[in-house]
């Protein structure tokens, strides 16, 4: 975490002193890059020692007996919390920088007039890297649709953006390994691409609210977004401060609950309820997940613990996708631009996609 | 000068509005600051992500809370 805290970002004074600005800016950039390199080294050093540190704290400092339930739970908490928070800091800083290369306006320009299949794929990928906050979903929807981005392509973007996000991926990677993170990434993208494509095929355009369809906007209206590297680094820092500052509490709460399940719930307890044998568990997980609204940070640690107790991977992934991608607050927001019939179709198509993912994984793993 | 702050009313949008107001007060200029909460209006202005600041019809920033210094440089 150190690498971002220590950086001395150029102050706004740079702009007031034009004669010194260029020299100072490049000096600043080298200074910042040096700090990031030093921070990355320190990060790696601490990260590689986390397991022994957690061992030491649990069994020596707190002198809890090795192998006991309490010891398991405490060790899990002391190891996973700093690990996940460190990974999260690193990735959010990096993604914050990557996102400075994308804007919703630029994305709209790329997607406007694209053929549907290609457009769906592009939209799902751009949904991951384009920065936008959830309260922008409506203006974004209007801006896309009225500038000639096909409805299905727009929806691919809006499904992928919340579902496949860096926080979910980091937590899955940190707690469950890269294979499950990769599975989530690929299937999340597939659900977004296919669901958007299917809705596009259904020709639902007249189920967009009438006032939206009367607006015409221009996709060429792209604001000038030329940033220098100092500004990009600063954007990375801002993303780190904002996002980590917001989700750390969910991560800790999630891991604490996970630690409790990890230490105290008996092995195989979840097998009967969320195991492969229970065919109804996948649809149940999707249905339960819709009204639930949590961010990825809170849900992944719980999911990891459930998996450890015999819950099936497909069921658990379906639950997670449903919680993140289909939520009541999102429906309420989309209701402003979509008629109820369209909302229903949207939930059904995305829900079916998630259901298929759940069954598929229960079948093959 | 006519300044529009676009946002449905989430915390970032409120923050953007108060920063614009502060900047205008600091600069001591005469400006109308209007909050745009209607999505149709935003779309017509060309705003895709909020919060956004539009000055005299020109989009100055979208999708982020501007710093006060930035706002000052736009209105001077």
The residue range of the domain holding B14 is: 2-75
DSSP string of A248-313, one letter each residue: HHHHHHHHHHHHHHHHHSPTTTTHHHHSTT-TTHHHHHHHHHTT----HHHHHHHHHHHHHTT--H
Shortest distance, CA B11 to any CA of chain A (angstroms):
10
> Which residues in chain A have their CB less than 8 angstroms from residue B48's CB?
104-105, 108, 132, 136, 139-140, 143-144
* Active-site option among B1, B2, B9, B10: B10
Q: Which residue of A has its CA nearest to B45?
A: A217
CATH number at residue B46: 3.40.30.10
pLDDT digits (tens, 9 = 90+) for A103-119: 888 888 889 878 888 99
Q: Are A10 and A24 in contact (CB under 8 A)?
A: yes
Q: What is the pLDDT of residue A224?
A: 64
The predicted model gives A304-320 an average pLDDT of 86
The predicted model gives A233-247 an average pLDDT of 86
Considering only the beta carbons, identify the residue of A131, A135, A142 that sits closest to B43.
Answer: A142
Q: For residues B71 and B27, what is the distance between their CA atoms, to the nearest angstrom?
A: 10
Which among A249, A303, A255, A296 is positioned nearest to A81, based on CA atoms?
Answer: A255
Q: What is the pLDDT of residue A223?
A: 63
Q: What is the pLDDT of residue A17?
A: 47
- Of how many residues is chain A composed? 365
For residue A268, CA distances in Å to A66, A175, A272, A274, A315 come to 22, 19, 8, 10, 15
- Of how many residues is chain B composed? 76
* Active-site option among B3, B6, B13, B62: B13
B6 is catalytic: no
Residue A72's pLDDT band, with cuts at 50, 70 and 90, is confident
For residue A43, count other CB atoms closer than 10 A to its CB.
Answer: 19
Residue A134's pLDDT band, with cuts at 50, 70 and 90, is low
Q: Which residue of B has its CA nearest to A144?
A: B48
Q: What is the pLDDT of residue A126?
A: 92
Q: What is the pLDDT of residue A278?
A: 72
B13 is catalytic: yes
Residue A354's pLDDT band, with cuts at 50, 70 and 90, is very high
Q: What is the pLDDT of residue A15?
A: 45
pTM: 0.81
Considering only the beta carbons, identify the residue of B6, B40, B59 that sits closest to A223.
Answer: B59
> Which residues in chain B have their CB less than 8 angstroms from residue A139's CB?
6, 39, 42-43, 47-50
Which among A152, A101, A151, A157 is positioned nearest to A124, based on CA atoms?
Answer: A157
Q: What is the pLDDT of residue A142?
A: 87
A338 pLDDT higher than 80:
yes
pLDDT digits (tens, 9 = 90+) for B35-64: 888 887 887 787 888 888 888 888 888 877
What is the CB-side half-sphere exposure of residue A47 using CA atoms within 13 A?
A: 18
> Which residues in chain B have their CB less than 8 angstroms from residue A12's CB?
67, 69
> Which residues in chain A have their CB less than 8 angstroms from residue B61's CB?
223
Considering only the beta carbons, identify the residue of B9, B12, B50 that sits closest to A139.
Answer: B50
Q: Are A152 and A220 in contact (CB under 8 A)?
A: no
Domain count for chain B: 1
Q: What percent of chain B has pLDDT over 90?
A: 1
> Which residues in chain B have their CB less than 8 angstroms from residue A144's CB?
48
Q: What is the pLDDT of residue A345?
A: 92
Structure tokens at A66: 């090795």
A3 pLDDT higher than 50:
no
Structure tokens at A343: 């909302």
pLDDT digits (tens, 9 = 90+) for A7-64: 333 444 444 444 555 666 677 888 888 888 888 899 888 888 888 888 888 888 888 8
Q: What is the pLDDT of residue A7?
A: 37
3-class state of residue B33 by DSSP: strand
Q: Which residue of A has its CA nearest to B69?
A: A12
Q: Are B48 and A136 in contact (CB under 8 A)?
A: yes
Which of A297 and A195 is assigned the larger pLDDT? A195
Q: What is the pLDDT of residue A263?
A: 74
With tokens 């949207």, the residue in question is: A346
Q: Which residue of A has its CA nearest to B48?
A: A140
Considering only the beta carbons, identify the residue of A135, A217, A218 that sits closest to B50.
Answer: A135
């Amino acid at each position: 975490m150190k690498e971002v805290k220590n950086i001395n970002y150029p102050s706004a004074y740079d702009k007031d002193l034009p004669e010194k600005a260029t020299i100072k800016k490049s000096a600043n950039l080298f200074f910042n890059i040096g700090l990031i390199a030093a921070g990355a080294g320190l990060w790696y050093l601490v990260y590689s020692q986390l397991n022994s540190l957690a061992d030491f704290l649990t069994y020596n400092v707190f002198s809890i007996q090795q192998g006991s339930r309490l010891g398991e739970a405490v060790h899990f908490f002391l190891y996973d919390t700093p690990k996940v928070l460190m990974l999260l800091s690193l990735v959010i800083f990096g993604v914050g920088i990557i996102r400075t290369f994308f804007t919703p306006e630029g994305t709209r320009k790329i997607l406007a007039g694209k053929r549907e299949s290609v457009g769906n794929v592009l939209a799902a990928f751009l949904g991951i890297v384009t920065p936008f906050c959830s309260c922008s979903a409506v203006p974004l929807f209007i801006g896309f649709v009225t500038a000639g981005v096909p409805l299905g392509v727009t929806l691919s973007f809006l499904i992928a953006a919340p579902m496949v996000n860096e926080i979910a991926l980091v937590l899955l990677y940190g707690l469950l390994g890269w294979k499950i993170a990769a599975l989530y990434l690929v299937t999340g993208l597939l659900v977004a691409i296919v669901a958007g494509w299917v809705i596009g095929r259904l020709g639902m355009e007249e189920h967009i609210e009438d006032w939206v369809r009367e607006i015409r906007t221009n996709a060429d209206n792209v604001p000038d977004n030329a940033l220098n590297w100092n500004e990009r680094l600063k954007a990375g820092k801002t993303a780190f401060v904002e996002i980590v500052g917001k989700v750390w509490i969910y991560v800790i709460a999630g891991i604490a609950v996970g630690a409790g399940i990890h230490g105290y719930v008996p092995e195989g307890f979840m097998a009967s309820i969320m195991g492969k044998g229970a065919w109804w568990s996948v649809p149940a997980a999707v249905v339960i997940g819709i009204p639930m609204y949590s961010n990825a940070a809170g849900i992944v640690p719980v999911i990891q613990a459930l998996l450890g107790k015999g819950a099936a991977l497909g069921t658990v992934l379906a639950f997670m996708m449903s919680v993140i991608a289909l939520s009541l607050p999102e429906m309420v927001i989309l209701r402003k631009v979509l008629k109820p019939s369209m909302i229903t179709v949207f939930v059904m198509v995305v829900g079916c996609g998630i259901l298929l993912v759940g069954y598929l994984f229960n079948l093959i793993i | 000068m006519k300044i529009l702050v676009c946002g449905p009313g989430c915390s970032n949008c409120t923050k953007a509005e108060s920063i614009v107001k502060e900047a205008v007060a600091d600069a001591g200029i005469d400006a109308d600051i209007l909050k745009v909460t209607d999505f149709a209006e935003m779309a017509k202005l060309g705003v895709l992500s909020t919060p956004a600041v539009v000055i005299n019809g020109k989009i100055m920033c979208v999708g982020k809370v501007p710093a006060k210094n930035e706002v000052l440089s736009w209105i001077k």
